[in-house]
Chains A and B, each alone.
Chain A
Amino acid sequence: MSAEHYACIHCDLPLAIGELRGGQRALCPRCGHLITACGHDALQRALAFAAAAIVLLVLSNAFPFLSLKANGLKSVMTIPATAAELHRDGYTTLAILVLGVIVAIPGAILAVVMALVIPLLQRRNAPWLVPAGRLLFQLSPWSMVEVFVIGVIVSLVKIHHMATVVIGLSFWSYVGFSLCFAATLANLDRLQVWREIEARRT
């Protein structure tokens, strides 16, 4: 493919970017913005990490996340129950917001990645490639998976002195999920993905 004309999204400098090989990156010479990065086997890796992330996301919703033992009392937290608890207290907005950014949006992103990357890897066209590409890059800023992991760690430090905290299976699943999810998105460079979509559409 010949060099494609492009303008830096951060400073609007007109540029021409040729085809990149694995491991190469293109930076804007004026403002330093990382325009695109071409990974090694990026689509295969994205698919593998997305498949792992989906399994781990399901697991992290199915088991206890954390449990607390104090004076013979026990309390168990799961991710779905967290939203239910907030809803019971009258904080439905907060429940939707939290569940949205830690489970629903990341889950939707993973589904979109599957629908997009599988046809691209098979080098075939599909009618949903363009809407899937749009959805992927519209949704991705709104996932807060790694922020939630930090929130969990802060909570653990806050409560570890007052009771025995038992870390559940879902906690480890969610940590694994956050790593696989980050790796999925890291392998989906915006310009490279759209070049692939365009190549399949024509």
Chain B
Amino acid sequence: MTAFPAGTAADAGLACCHLCYKLAPVAMHECPRCGSSLHLRQPDGIQRTVALLVTASLLYIPANVLPIMITTQLGNKIESTILGGVVLLIQMGSIPVAAVIFIASVLVPIGKMVALSWLCWSVSRRQKTSHRQRTVLYRVTELVGRWSMTDVFVVTILVALIHFGGLLRITAGVASIAFGGVVIVTMLAAESFDPRLIWDHLGDEDD
């Protein structure tokens, strides 16, 4: 048995507006306060989330394989990937910065994609346990997503700052766009997942 209070507003045909949190009958179609369209649950939430996750994981390949930054020193081109940059920072002895980049560019995006996939899977097979933990996992996923942009910003700043003509010059690599895409698409994926699905079917334990 569950210790949680049962019931959802959707059972009563009431929808909470995703934009202004007004509760209104879903039959109204439009929120009476802000005019957004009302839905009991995000339309096709799981399908959209899965589609965006597939897109993000495909983009993640070029983001890691292709160079994110190109250093040209006296005609010599050195291309560096995300992981290459982390290794370089460790060799330089900047362990904390290497950790920041590794967490932001590797752990967070992968963790986010795994977490959202698992949430989609657990919801679609109507998992009856750890409702609260899964909701917290979703909240964390939603919160940390933006921080993956750190490495893209670092590249941007270095490109803008280091241009000494033929002596030394840094340009952005294709991976920077791919990685920016990963961040945007995973943010959209988190936004299209509806955490209320975790709590549906809470009452019907017997089936």
Q: Which residues of A contact B (CB under 8 A)?
A: 4-14, 29-33, 35-36, 66-68, 70, 73, 75, 77, 81-82, 85-86, 89, 91, 93-94, 97-98, 101-102, 130, 133-134, 137-138, 141-142, 144, 147-148, 150-152, 154-155, 157-159, 161, 190-191, 194, 197-198
Would B146 and A144 count as touching, CB distance under 8 A?
yes
Would A7 and B147 count as touching, CB distance under 8 A?
no
Would B135 and A33 count as touching, CB distance under 8 A?
yes
B160 is an interface residue with CB less than 8 A from chain A: yes
| Stretch in B11-19, B59-67, B109-117, B119-127 touching the partner | B11-19
B8 is an interface residue with CB less than 8 A from chain A: yes
**22 A-B pairs (CB sep. < 8 Å):** A10-B195, A11-B8, A11-B131, A11-B198, A12-B200, A66-B157, A75-B161, A75-B162, A77-B160, A82-B159, A82-B160, A86-B160, A89-B172, A94-B152, A94-B172, A98-B152, A147-B146, A147-B153, A151-B151, A151-B157, A158-B97, A194-B34
Residues on A with C-beta less than 8 A from B14 are 5, 7, 14
Residues on B with C-beta less than 8 A from A5 are 14, 23
Would B146 and A157 count as touching, CB distance under 8 A?
no
Cβ 8 A contact of A151, one of B89, B149, B198, B199: B149
Would B97 and A30 count as touching, CB distance under 8 A?
no
Cβ 8 A contact of B5, one of A30, A161, A198: A30
Would A91 and B153 count as touching, CB distance under 8 A?
no
Cβ 8 A contact of A138, one of B8, B19, B94: B19
Q: A94-B176, A130-B35, A134-B19 are in contact. Are A151 and B7 (CB under 8 A)?
A: no
* A5 and chain B: residue at smallest CB distance: B23
B156 is an interface residue with CB less than 8 A from chain A: yes
B154 is an interface residue with CB less than 8 A from chain A: yes
B150 is an interface residue with CB less than 8 A from chain A: yes
Residues on B with C-beta less than 8 A from A35 are 21
Shortest CB distance B186–A (Å): 12
